[in-house]
Amino acid sequence: MAATFVGLFCALLLAPLARAEQITIAVLGDSLTQGYGLPVEDGLVPQLERWLHANGVKVTVLNAGVSGDTTAGGLARVDWTLTPDVDALIVALGGNDLLRGIAPAVARRNLDGILIAAANKGLPVLLIGHAAPGNFGADYKTAFDALYPELAVQYSALLYPDFLSTLNDGRSQTEVLQTLMQADAIHPNAAGVNLIVQSLGPVVLDLIDHED
């Protein structure tokens, strides 16, 4: 009984260690990560970093977002993104593949390469997905939507299924466009990013707890 108690006590002490130490998370993404159209402090990465600090995490979140990047662009620069100081990776790519109608098999291959690079460095990964629109047909949507959950399972990555889904929760399309999106109707405004961070933040905490 005493041994069991000591074991449980030690587990409780060890569980928050990852959050107590300074860690670095890289976010490999496109304009949604980069903060297109927003003051620097209102972008996804600064807002996420502030949220994590407010939740007691000593963390640096690196902005590895490049506007216009596809999954191919992310693959091309993943090796120099994953510097020795990076402890965990968030992959937030695929939106521009959808805008360009890039074949799901191509996007899958690129994401697979990114996840292999992270696995080779022993890094925990959070994969952020995108829901494909229906304008490329049902087969395209089915194939693209399956990429993220299947790759997450294959590489034991955490999954946030749809980058922008939280903006639509209980809101009409008109409300979303008028209050949470920029004028281009593609990129969230500061308030929209804040909502994404509130939803995404707890999953990033799970990622940090996987970092050891």
Residues with catalytic function: 31, 184, 187
C-alpha 34/C-alpha 189 separation (Å) is 13
CA dihedral sign, ordered 54, 60, 66, 69 = negative
SS3 letters across the chain: CHHHHHHHHHHHHHCCHHHHCCEEEEEEECHHHHCCCCCHHHCHHHHHHHHHHHCCCCEEEEEEECCCCCHHHHHHHHHHHCCCCCCEEEEECCHHHHHHCCCHHHHHHHHHHHHHHHHHCCCCEEEECCCCCCCCCHHHHHHHHHHHHHHHHHCCCEEECCCCHHHHCCCCHHHHHHHCECCCCCCECHHHHHHHHHHHHHHHHHHHHHCC
Residue indicated by tokens 């996987």: 210
